[in-house]
Structure 1
Amino acid sequence: MYFGYHEVGNMNRAIIRYFTFRIIQLEAVLLLVPCLVALIYQEPQGWYYLGTSIACGIVGTLGSMRKVENDSFYAKESFVVVALCWIVISAIGAVPFTLSGEIPNYLDALFENVSGFTTTGASILTDVEALSHTALFMRSFIHWVGGMGVLVLMLAILPRSSGNNMYLMRAESPGPSVGKLVPQIRKTAGLLYKIYIVITVFEIGALIWSKMPVFDAVTISVATTGTGGFAILNSSIGAYTIAQQNIITVFMFVSGVNFSFYYFLLFRKVKNAAVMEEVRWYLGIFVGSVVLICANAYHSFDGMRECVHHVAFTVSSILTSTGFATVDYTKWPEFSQTLLVFLMLIGACAGSTGGGMKVSRWVLMFKAVRNEISYLIHPRRVRQVRMDGHVVPKETMKSLYSYVLVYFFIFAGSVIVIAIDNYGFDTNFSAVAACLNNIGPGIGEVGPSGNYSGFSNVSKIVLMLDMLAGRLELFPLLMLIAPTTWRR
């Protein structure tokens, strides 16, 4: 992810402060949404969300009133703003869960909120059905907010005039690179959210048409399009009908596609959409994985139709990092489980709401290795890495190599640290894979029928950092905690 770094002197702390207070203002508005749910269902938990919203509104307004003399910012400030805002919005979002007593331990509530906003879907709850409608809706709603990005939402509705807002979008959006679809950043952010809303509304309509209760349809849809995975039933999606599960399968897959693809189709730029290699690879990986797992796990089902149904749902859920489940895939053969773990690492498309390393990164790495082999065979032949018919800049490839190296360092370090809890390697490895790639369920004790409640506080903190690092593409969080970032 190359931003075109600029050396502009000291950190602009004023702009960081401004955006932090603005995000607190935004959260004040977001917390009013579950209040409406509480009003509909006459639940007293709504008062805690309302109180937290009022407090956020006062603090955010007072904090953002201070004039910012220099509103220019670059990549460095953007990285810090993004990481800080995601931590703040998660920390505040945990407050009403704790005050209401539904998740009495604040660290557990924070884990649930970080998991929600980062669209991970890893839960510490053992009985989600014991929660109020208000809390159930909030858990799913924060998936939807975090799916496209809290700062992208802020840019869409609370924009600043500075043209450097593009740095914020690039710092928060998943994938190797992010470009403007239209000249103005506000219009780009607004357009992304319009597409996002349309997909969400279509899924809600389809699920209601399939006779799913309205509350279930809304909560599942916002969690699906945000590729989050928080369900409102202990059985996840297993208790719903085959038709409803098929609808969710389709919309999980749709949400994992690069949103630029939909933009090109919407504005009849079919040629631009047709050359998007990542989307073709994404489709190929999905189909290939379904075929391989069906061939391996066929005997775990009653017939091929049931096999294809549940395998397609699971592959779509894991590949897009949604994390919903219809069956316990940890009971499938080892080959199928191993393939699912690799799908966790691959992830969805860049520019989607999905997690993972992203299909585009794997495609670029594959092409880079292929070119290196070609160079060893034919040293005089010059081959450049191309994507969608364009030469990939060297800065982008350099950033890619750095990302992959840092990714595996964080992955290995996290597995080692959480090993102190004495779970098996399969549990530790898949827990980190599921959190760092924002998937949620893993293998072993954290499989579809398990949860993360048994981990120690230290391990929960490590896994929360993994969730944030994975959603924010590693570097924003690393820059926030790096001492050199704050030196004048």
Structure 2
Amino acid sequence: MIAGVKYAPTIRLESQQYAEVYEHNYHWRQNWEPYQLTLSAKQYQVLDALINAPQKPSAGITLEKISEVTKLLLADVREALAVLQEIDGIGTKLLVDGAESQATTRVRVAWIQMGFGDAIFESQSGFSTTGATVISKLEDEGFVPHCILFWRSTTHFLGGLGIIVLFVVLLGGSSAGKALMRAEMPGPTKEGNTPRMQHAAWRFGGLYIALNTALTILLLFEMNLFDALCHAFGTMATGGFSTYDTSVGAFNSAYVDYVITFFMVLAGTNFALLYLLVILKAGNERRFVRWKTQIRQVFKDTELRVYLGIIGVVTLFVMLYGLSYGDWDFPNDTVDITVLDKISRSIRYGLFQVVAIITTTGFGTHDFNEWNQFGRALLLGLMFIGGCAGSTGGGMKVIRHILFVKILRQEAEHLYHPNVVMPLKLGGETFDDKEMRRGILAYFGFVVILFMTTWLLLMAVEPDTTWHQDDLSNKIVDNSSAVIATLNNIGPGLGIVGATSNYGAYSPFSKLVFTWLMMLGRLEIFSILILFSPAFWLSRR
């Protein structure tokens, strides 16, 4: 707010007959005023160019450039502009810098300045590592200074393992510290996490910083230091804030795509397992034997194997269906493009997008909103899974889904054989923890109730003017994907919050709802309830 960041134009032009203008700054729900217009074809072309053509909207566009873009004579551009300035609602949003008689005179459309609700949304999105944004034209320094872009990415860095490390280090082995760690690591505890929680937090924090440093160095081969740092912070925190509107796709580099994909996979993996991979335990055996044993121990982990298996299977389906539906065909393709080229694209873009969604990073290299329906459905399903427990990824966590399936199978078996004793097994070990079982079932129930409640709330309060008149039928899907994407800390969803869009179109009330969902998704309901229990904070173990 203090920096005066502006995030969207004040005019939404839909046709020659209809536009919406941002007029009600402080209304909780309806900010946009609809206007019925009677624009000529030339007036529509000029207004559309003023809104969409400038590379830097803060500087506007010259009359000469408008003439070039619209293929209209300069005199026609001046005439159309003069008429537009007289139209109620539209005219006050058009700012002319200089005399209209000069071809180099710049004209710009006023943009919306971020309010308190927008700033809260953006901040919560950063610290919760969601990566959802309301800001358009990130490349325009006149609207979004580089210091703000860097701070946004820094909130990802702090929000990755920072929240866990901070609370565990400050609270130590208290019940509050343990609860926050357990919320981040549901299911059976992995080796090395509980004996000395403060020491474990410091180790994970050090590993997190080391991975950020390594990724920054690797990205410097294709990026400048600013972009490398920002994208490293967004990758290892599984956040997704970028310095470009088109996200990682702006670099158009296979090297960048594969490097970030690899580190996203690491970021979605349990940090206790990563620690075993890089830190050799003391022992009497030879170093190579000890390292081999630790590597074997890591890849025997059930959650990791399921996590990698999901990535592999879903990527394969995305590739095959994308090839059959032409998702990997580009408009500028020539006859020289072979099947192998398309397969290479399917691996590069398909794998990247699958990993970005399941790890809840939310980066994009390809507009998955334009994929076939099955491919989009697969990504929507991945949003409910998330990364591994103990990772920086959000979502429901892979281990919860594994345990949920096992618990359901046991309960189904008990319906037909009530006297059979079936212990819960995971990775060859038996777990008879009724508290964990209740927690898993309660969590899934809570997620379903929360999803349905907030989705219906958005359907009730979000005005139809949020959508283009031709896209109003997408309101159900768009709202549901927005709830899923914020509750599971994904960032982008489908439709108006898709890979090439953002949350700027939503009303202030809806943005506050999304902010609340992002906090619940990151800290989880159990941790939030703890904050309101004085007896819990006073009790120490």
Assess same fold via TM > 0.5. yes
Q: Tell me the alpha carbon deviations over residues 345-389 of structure 1, each in whole angstroms, 9 at most, x when there is no partner.
A: 011111100011111011011111222333345444321212233
- Counterparts of 2:306 and 2:449, CA distance in 1: 27
Match of 2:522 in 1: 471
Once the two structures are overlaid, the 10-residue window that deviates more, 398-407 or 143-152, is 143-152
1:346 to 363, 366, 385: 385
1:140 to 153, 163, 170: 153
TM-fit CA distance, 1:102: 10
- Counterparts of 2:409 and 2:517, CA distance in 1: 31
2:241 to 223, 227, 230: 230
Is the helix fraction higher in 1 or 2?
1
- Counterparts of 2:296 and 2:152, CA distance in 1: 39
Once the two structures are overlaid, the 10-residue window that deviates more, 475-484 or 430-439, is 475-484
Whether 1:401 and 2:446 are equivalent positions in the alignment is no
1:288 to 294, 304, 313: 313
Assess if the C-alpha contact under 8 Å between 1:129 and 1:234 holds in 2: yes
Which residue identity lines up with residue 237 of structure 1 in the other structure?
V
Whether 1:278 and 2:303 are equivalent positions in the alignment is yes
- Counterparts of 1:228 and 1:222, CA distance in 2: 8
Match of 1:451 in 2: 502
Aligned residues: 386
Equivalent residues in 2 for 1:40-119, closer than 5 Å: 104-119=114-129
TM-fit CA distance, 1:150: 2.2
Whether 1:126 and 2:154 are equivalent positions in the alignment is no
Q: Tell me the alpha carbon deviations over residues 252-302 of structure 1, each in whole angstroms, 9 at most, x when there is no partner.
A: 111001111112223343454233100000000000000011111112114
Assess if the C-alpha contact under 8 Å between 1:407 and 1:474 holds in 2: no
Q: Against the structure 1 CA distance between its residues 175 and 380, is the aligned structure 2 distance closer, same or farther, given a 3 Å change threshold? A: closer
Q: What runs of 5+ residues in structure 1 fail to find an aligned partner?
A: 1-43, 46-100
- Counterparts of 1:216 and 1:394, CA distance in 2: 48
Which residue identity lines up with residue 341 of structure 1 in the other structure?
L
TM-fit CA distance, 1:406: 0.9
Q: Against the structure 1 CA distance between its residues 478 and 452, is the aligned structure 2 distance closer, same or farther, given a 3 Å change threshold? A: farther
Q: Against the structure 1 CA distance between its residues 174 and 109, is the aligned structure 2 distance closer, same or farther, given a 3 Å change threshold? A: farther
Q: What runs of 5+ residues in structure 2 fail to find an aligned partner?
A: 4-110, 281-290, 330-341, 468-474
- Counterparts of 2:528 and 2:112, CA distance in 1: 29
1:264 to 276, 285, 288: 276
- Counterparts of 2:135 and 2:189, CA distance in 1: 35
Match of 2:369 in 1: 330
Assess if the C-alpha contact under 8 Å between 2:168 and 2:178 holds in 1: no
Assess if the C-alpha contact under 8 Å between 1:175 and 1:473 holds in 2: no
Match of 1:310 in 2: 349
Which residue identity lines up with residue 337 of structure 1 in the other structure?
R
Which residue identity lines up with residue 119 of structure 1 in the other structure?
T
Is the strand fraction higher in 1 or 2?
2
Q: Tell me the alpha carbon deviations over residues 118-169 of structure 1, each in whole angstroms, 9 at most, x when there is no partner.
A: 000110112222322211111111111111132513544xx46665564254
- Counterparts of 1:107 and 1:483, CA distance in 2: 29
The 3-state SS of whatever aligns with 1:386 is strand
Match of 1:16 in 2: none
Once the two structures are overlaid, the 10-residue window that deviates more, 343-352 or 472-481, is 472-481
Match of 1:386 in 2: 425
Assess if the C-alpha contact under 8 Å between 1:169 and 1:178 holds in 2: no
Structure whose CA Rg is larger: 2
- Counterparts of 2:403 and 2:172, CA distance in 1: 35
Match of 2:511 in 1: 460
Which residue identity lines up with residue 252 of structure 1 in the other structure?
M
Assess if the C-alpha contact under 8 Å between 1:281 and 1:359 holds in 2: yes
The 3-state SS of whatever aligns with 1:239 is helix
Assess if the C-alpha contact under 8 Å between 1:438 and 1:470 holds in 2: yes
The 3-state SS of whatever aligns with 1:382 is coil
Match of 1:247 in 2: 259
Assess if the C-alpha contact under 8 Å between 1:174 and 1:473 holds in 2: no
The 3-state SS of whatever aligns with 2:200 is helix
- Counterparts of 2:184 and 2:255, CA distance in 1: 32
Match of 1:153 in 2: 166
Tell me the percent identity: 34
TM-fit CA distance, 1:178: 5.3
Q: If the length of structure 1 is used for normalisation, what is the TM-score?
A: 0.74
The 3-state SS of whatever aligns with 2:383 is helix
- Counterparts of 1:102 and 1:331, CA distance in 2: 28
Which residue identity lines up with residue 401 of structure 1 in the other structure?
L
Match of 2:53 in 1: none
